[in-house]
Amino acid sequence: MTDAKDIGIFPASGGLGESTIQHLLKFIPAASLTLLARNPEKRAAESRQGAVVRRADYDDAASLERVFEGISVLFLISYASCEHEHRSRAHRMAIDAAIRSGVKHIFYSSLAFGGNLSKETAALVMRAHIDTEVYLEELARAHQSSFTYTVIREGLYSESFPIYTAFFDPRNPVTEIKIPHDGSAPGVAWVKRDELGEATAKLIAAYAQNPLGFPYSNQILLLTGSRVLTLAETVAVVSQIIGRNDIRIKKVSVEEYAAQPQNAPMLTYHGVDLSKEWATAWKAIANGECNVVTPLLGETLGREPEDFETTIRRQVEGQKWHELQLQRRAS
């Protein structure tokens, strides 16, 4: 095992970060963790268990200086947006600060566009990831054995399907899902977010326990679900879960997709509406960038990954239970 307090997670927030932290705590003591978050008070529970908690923010360069000190292994979670240049700069700034502070190995959360580990993509959301992958490769060559990395291309979350279906809401369903895609193959190898967090935690723990024997140093890994669903099949599964049979995908132009009122609030970053640019995701899906299935997630978990239907059914049922509890409290 590595020395105490030398495994860092930044940002220690969001769905993937939260999941990874909770699973890591099953394998390592809290005292081995340093959690870096824009709002460190949200990590109070782990602080009480012995984790070091510090403030750090991608958009505050000063907050990154010296914040990685004492960390040897860093899980760097990507900046939360679909931008390209701003996101790439933020990643590079954090990586440089981490290496200056003595970080020896970075696990980086990339995304499962690009097909079978290709550096080519049609998707705007993937471009900063590819920039970051290339930068890590360059640094590893420059530093030789003193710095290594592992890129984890995390599969598209099952729970994120609304992003790819014009923000479809199972609680307020529409009958037409208007996207610049007809729903046909190729599709997406959807994967449960918490299983990605669990597998990522296992990989980090494996490195921490045996850095020299870790088989994935200076490699790009792809974690996916075990089955591909087309977008039409995805919508059909969700429709069945919510008891509807009249929901269909309608292929529209990029302009008509972007003009829908639900998009701009969800796809505006730093004052710029990227709804039209986001539509490149469907071009990438149509090109087959998301339909690759690998066995690595199941091998790392030691079991078959959960299927899309099970994940979404549990999510919808959980939302219904939560809403029922709120109604009872209000009555």
3-class SS at 74? strand
* Single-letter code of the amino acid located at 147: F
If you compute the radius of gyration of the chain from its CA atoms, what whole number of angstroms results? 20
Answer whether residue 171 is part of any domain. Answer: no
Query: Cβ distance 159 to 192 under 8 Å?
Result: yes
- Residue 30 included in any domain: yes
CA dist., res. 88 & res. 77, Å (int): 12
Which is it for the CA torsion 229, 231, 236, 239, positive or negative?
positive
What the block records as the tokens of 139 is 């640094």
CATH of the domain at 127: 3.40.50.720
- pLDDT of 97-132, one tens digit each? 999 999 999 999 999 999 999 999 999 999 999 999
Q: Give residue 320's pLDDT.
A: 59
Tell me the mean pLDDT in the region 37-56.
96
- Domain-embedded: residue 41: yes
> Within a domain: residue 202?
yes
Say if residues 30 and 51 touch (Cβ distance below 8 Å): yes
330: Cβ–Cβ under 8 A, 6 or more apart, which residues? Answer: none
324 falls in which pLDDT band (50, 70, 90)? very low
- Domain containing 108: what range? 7-156+191-223
Give 80 or 1, the one with higher predicted confidence: 80
Cβ atoms within 10 Å, residue 327 = 9
Whether the pLDDT of residue 183 is over 60: the answer is yes
Any domain includes 199: yes
Q: Could you report the per-residue pLDDT of 13-41, keeping only the tens digit for each?
A: 999 999 999 999 999 999 999 999 999 99
Q: How many domains does the chain have?
A: 1
Tens of pLDDT, residue by residue over 279-315, are 999 999 999 999 999 999 999 999 999 999 999 999 9
Is 328 a member of any domain? no
pLDDT of 180 strictly over 90:
yes
Q: d(Cα 64, Cα 286) in Å, to the nearest integer? A: 39
- Does residue 167 lie in a domain region? no
Taking alpha carbons only, the member of 295, 96, 108, 95 closest to residue 217 is 108
For residues 212 and 2, give the distance between their C-alpha atoms in angstroms, rounded to a whole number. 12
Does some domain include residue 150? yes
